Amino acid sequence: MSATTAVSRRKAAPGRLAGAKVQVQRRARAVLDPVVGWLARTGTRPDQVTVLGTLLAVAAGLAFFQGRFRLASGLLLASGLCDILDGQLARRLGGSSRFGAFFDSTLDRLAEAAVLAGIMGFYLRNLVALVFQSSEALAQVALGLEPVTWAVMAFTALLALVASYMVSYTRARAEGLGLQCNVGWFERPERLVLLIIAGMLKVFWAMSAALLLLAVLSFWTATQRVRHVWKLTRGAGQDQ
């Protein structure tokens, strides 16, 4: 394989991922279109759907904190559906407003923080419990689960939260400067899907792997956006 072919394939991979993402979004919207029509006929407003989705995400965060991972995943799935419905409903009713877009984006950040804070709280709660239950700590060590593992996973959840915010912030800041910044495919829908699948599996390694993957891919996406903005500004000779 020539070097040119290898480079071409690397450049084509993100395009294929983006294309697959668009196809999935179109199919999801087609499936939900009857629900959108019903919401429009009942007089439901997009902002109401947005608030409902946020409340469901907060409930999911509480369920994660309590260790009820499958319930949390179900609530998170419902929240994600609301995230699709509010945008479709806004378009059905004549287009989204600037405040609606701002309100939706703001509550999305709150929802994501609630979910990841709930997961982090779950790990911290178990770590603190071991301080007062030495027999349980010894039993976990016998099974190969060191107490420090709970602390590491709590820190990983924190990293995942920071990385998620970096993905959103880099795009928002770039657009605030008047630059298009649609690069990077690992965004909020992909993060939700990853957490939903891990929660449904309800095994320790699944959520651990999901948080680590979420943090790595989110930081990578944020890095792609920083590089993209650099190319549009300093790389193009626009900035000193």
In terms of Cβ atoms closer than 10 Å to its own Cβ (0-12, 13-18, 19+), residue 217 is buried
Q: Which pairs count as long-range contacts for 194-203, CB under 8 Å and 24+ apart, including other chains?
A: 195/73, 195/76, 195/115, 195/119, 196/73, 196/76, 196/77, 196/80, 197/73, 198/69, 198/73, 199/64, 199/69, 199/70, 199/72, 199/73, 199/76, 200/69, 200/70, 200/73, 202/69, 202/70
166 vs 145: CA distance, rounded Å: 31
Residue 185 DSSP label: S
Cβ atoms within 10 Å, residue 184: 22
Helix (H, G, I), strand (E, B) or coil at 94: coil
Give 42's DSSP letter.
Answer: T
Pick from 90, 80, 98, 79: nearest CA to 47: 90
Report d(CA 98, CA 80) in Å as an integer: 21
Question: Does residue 108 carry a catalytic annotation?
Answer: yes
Given the residues 83, 86, 104, 108, the one annotated as active site: 108
Residues annotated as part of the active site: 108
